[in-house]
């Protein structure tokens, strides 16, 4: 089976990163990769801090710089800058939203089985504290947008469901969910929605405010070339007076978003360097990057799938043409638990010098491939050539 032609490389893109050239890094979705120019911008900021920490942290100019950065990022994402806050990651934003809804005994938080694992852990912890319950609605991997909305709508319990958590792009299954339609369905019953959009900034055309979610949080350090530890939490007007930071600091009385953003001696250099990452994207062309990554991820899925003997119908459709991550099912019985999947991922890294994502989901192990501008078609070809033999030896 032919895998078709991959997209042409973006000239010079590979030289923008400091990744080890001896490793095929096909797992951008996990931790991202920071361009060299952004690394240098952050280092200059760190040097500034160390020249005079009192001036950096003690002057009123720090908050002005944070606010300016927040406005720049919010504009890129189509979010209200006055209703948004910079946070370390999507997980922090999820925990803030969970504590904001103020659950009561007999209340519940509804999640899907495609959600990020730490979100489920956070929901269960908050529910234990408040005497509430966390419940999961299963969604078939091949479900259409209409079926996804229908299943979630049927699972809602008006009067009892106090928060619905959905992923915009799921981590274990790389599926793009119709969040705007899901939010509208929940709104019919006045049920708040938290959208975990960890993978959305940089991959999807975004107008956050038009989604209509009560809470939306997305990482900039996965696909928008920001240093790690950079995310934006957007909060609907009716919740802004109630949201609280996870840690109280000196700007507490200023209210949201400043009380969330100022966290004492936090390393703010990641946030302040994030606009350099957006500048890098704009210089190369945001749409050019998205198109390249989506086409290369699709190529990788096809060529590796063919090597594993999978038919085109066996390759899960991510649900959106701009998806830069794709998954493939591994043979039945291979690495069906999280520890086994982690061990297999490490085995592939050690033996093949190829980094991939690996998740146990739905009783099956799924290989997740990412594509970024530093990747080349031959890296997926190499995985396709060597993976079948490695899987055979791994099972023996």
pTM above 0.85, yes or no: yes
pLDDT per residue as tens digits for the range 306-352: 999 999 999 999 999 999 999 999 999 999 999 999 999 999 999 99
Whether residue 344 contacts residue 355, with contact meaning beta carbons closer than 8 Å, is answered with no
Determine the average pLDDT of the residues in 182-201.
Answer: 97
Residue 2's pLDDT is 46
Contacts of 154 (CB under 8 A, 6+ apart): none
Residue 77's pLDDT is 98
pLDDT, the chain, mean: 96
From the candidate CATH numbers 3.40.640.10, 3.60.110.10, 3.40.50.1100, 3.30.70.20, the one assigned to the domain spanning 38-279: 3.40.640.10
What is the Cβ-side half-sphere exposure of residue 73, based on CA atoms within 13 angstroms? 35
Q: List the chain domain ranges.
A: 13-33+285-395, 38-279
Residue 3's pLDDT is 59
Q: Is the pLDDT of residue 1 over 80?
A: no
Q: At what angle do helices 36-51 and 269-284 cross, to 10 degrees?
A: 150
d(CA 287, CA 292) in angstroms, rounded, equals: 8
Q: Indicate the pLDDT class of residue 396, thresholds 50, 70 and 90.
A: low
From the candidate CATH numbers 3.90.1150.10, 3.30.930.10, 3.30.360.10, 3.90.1170.10, the one assigned to the domain spanning 13-33+285-395: 3.90.1150.10
């Amino acid at each position: 089976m032919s895998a078709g032609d991959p997209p042409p490389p973006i000239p010079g893109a590979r030289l923008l990163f400091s990744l080890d050239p001896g490793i095929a890094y096909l797992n951008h979705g996990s931790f991202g990769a920071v361009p060299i120019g952004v690394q240098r911008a952050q280092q200059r900021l760190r040097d500034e801090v160390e020249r005079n920490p009192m001036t950096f942290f003690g002057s009123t100019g720090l908050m002005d710089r944070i606010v300016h950065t927040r406005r720049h990022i919010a504009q890129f994402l189509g979010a209200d800058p006055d209703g948004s806050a910079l946070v370390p990651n999507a997980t922090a934003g999820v925990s803030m939203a969970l504590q904001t809804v103020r659950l009561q005994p007999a209340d519940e938080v509804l999640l899907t089985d495609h959600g990020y694992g730490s979100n489920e852990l956070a929901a269960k912890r908050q529910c234990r504290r408040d005497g509430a319950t966390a419940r999961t609605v299963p969604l078939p991997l091949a479900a259409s947008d209409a079926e996804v909305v229908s299943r979630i709508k049927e699972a809602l319990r008006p009067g009892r469901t106090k928060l619905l958590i959905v992923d915009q792009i799921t981590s274990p299954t790389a599926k793009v969910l119709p969040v705007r339609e899901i939010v509208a369905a929940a709104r019919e019953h006045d049920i708040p929605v938290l959208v975990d959009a960890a993978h959305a900034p940089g991959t999807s055309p975004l107008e956050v405010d038009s989604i209509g979610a009560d809470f939306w949080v997305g990482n900039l350090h996965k696909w928008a070339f920001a240093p790690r530890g950079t995310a934006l939490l957007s909060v609907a007007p009716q919740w802004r007076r109630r949201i609280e930071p996870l840690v109280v600091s000196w700007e507490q009385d200023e209210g949201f978003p400043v009380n969330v953003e100022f966290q004492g001696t936090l390393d703010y250099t990641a946030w302040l360097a994030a606009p350099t990452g957006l500048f890098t994207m704009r210089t190369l062309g945001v749409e050019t990057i998205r198109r390249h990554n989506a086409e290369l991820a699709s190529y990788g899925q096809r060529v590796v799938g063919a090597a594993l003997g999978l038919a085109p119908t066996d390759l899960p459709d991510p649900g959106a043409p701009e998806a830069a991550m794709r998954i493939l099912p591994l043979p039945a019985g291979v690495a069906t638990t999280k520890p086994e999947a982690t061990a297999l991922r490490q085995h592939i890294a050690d033996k093949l010098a190829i980094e991939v994502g690996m998740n146990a989901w739905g009783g099956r192990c799924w290989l997740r491939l990412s594509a970024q501008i530093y990747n080349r078609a031959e890296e997926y070809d190499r995985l396709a050539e060597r993976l079948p033999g490695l899987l055979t030896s791994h099972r023996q």
